[in-house]
Structure 1
Amino acid sequence: MDKISIDKLVVFGNHGVFEAENMLGQKFLVSVVVYTDTRKAGLTDDLACSVNYGDVSRDILKFFQNNTFKLIETVAEKLAQELLLRYDLAEKVDVKIEKPWAPVAIPVDSVSVEISRGWHRAYIATGSNMGDKKAYLDEAVEKLKNHSYCKVVKVSDYITTEPYGGVEQDVFLNGALEIKTLLYPEELLALLNRIEAEAGRERTIHWGPRTLDLDILFYDDCIIDTPALTVPHIDMQNRGFVLIPMAQIAPYHRHPVLGCTVGQLLSRLDGSLS
């Protein structure tokens, strides 16, 4: 992806662990790389089609003037978030914060923290088979839309499906959605669990009835296997109620383990059931 760089912008801020640093302030050097597609701007010569590095520089200056943090790790994190949320064309940013003559009691030219942060693409399966099922699914979508670090890109139609797993219960309403998020996988999982809990979700019976079920199907092309989270979803290839809505919004998304697109997985499942 194309890059727009700001190198060693000199700013003054009140960031540091020691009280004197917060009171007196000091000089910082800030370097930022914004990853964006500059093709349209290059062809049209229109600044509105790109990220204005002058505006970014002024926003960095305001950020340092209006905030005080103990750690430059926090400075870098919060600045990256602010830039990604402010500039719609920015897909990713690299932020480097240098602190010249840091108070470490030994001679040092500077210390620095450098991070990369960006938008991630995730696909989420939704389901409900208790109460007002559509209202539960709609509310989950709205909560994701309203979350500062999430953007809902696509929402599938809802489909009615039979229960999965052998537990006798009401039919499900299922769907899928695509989001862009600044949250890491475990952070996204925590958010989804919170939304489920707010909808009254109780985990008493495995594969049992639920007001709301939110599962991460894909997160970028990541393969994750931890005690808390498995991505891609371990059994999605066997679940029509997952593949049908997913195929509506992302038929060509490729499963990073199985090597097949969502559409191909659905065709295979349909073939095995015929």
Structure 2
Amino acid sequence: MMYSDRELSQKLERTEALANAAFVESRAALVPDIGAEWIEVAGAYALFDGPSSPVPQTFGLGLFEAATGETLDTIEAFFRRHNAPVFHEVSPLTDAGLLRLLGDRSYLPCEQTSVMVRKIENEMPPNPKLNRDVTTRVIGPGESELWARTAVAGWATEGEGLAAFMLDLGRICTNARGGFPFLAELNGRAISTGMLYVFNDVAILAGASTVTEGRRRGGQLALLDARLRFAAEQGCRIAMMGASPGSQSQRNAETNGFRVAYTRTKWQLHS
């Protein structure tokens, strides 16, 4: 059994913090002028990857050590130095005093995420629902651009601005430590992408995208199966992912054995 307790939350939040830290390190190596960096304060990771990136925020605040006014002073100064907004992803398993502290400092909730988990079995039975014409693989050297452009193509209907932004993020995440970029191909043509991050015995599934003409062909189901099997080979025992509460992504995850461990709230500083 996996109980939705503080210990599980610490494991999941630390894993997501490590994955984001690896992303920041990748950005710092590839685009040093941005000044990407991360720090640890009272067990929480504060991460900066540019003011327009979704990465600048904290993970694990109040979950490993009680957060104090001094803790928030240090974190807020870090983001202020980078001219970035201040966001905290806060687990409901954290100390209740943190919520009062955030309220007293003019933070407001702005977003919620269903943190979803499932066990990874050592040996998974074959999935009869897989489309055998779809093949999957981890990309090879020199294929970061292919992965990123395939991912962007799946977001094409969301507008050119978002597409350019996703292309940039795709190039960074495919070079991040602990990351394994997966492609699904139909008759030799890339149709879907998926990221897998592995830290200790936890795997994070992210980066799902499918090109318009490749939808409903089983690309994402094949990538889910392939990433879980790969994670098992790496010694992972838990898979996690995030989704908007009640979204189609959450329903798809629940259909494939995931359950909601808890709902996390993002808080933004207003001052």
Give TM-score scaled by structure 1 length: 0.28
Give TM-score scaled by structure 2 length: 0.29
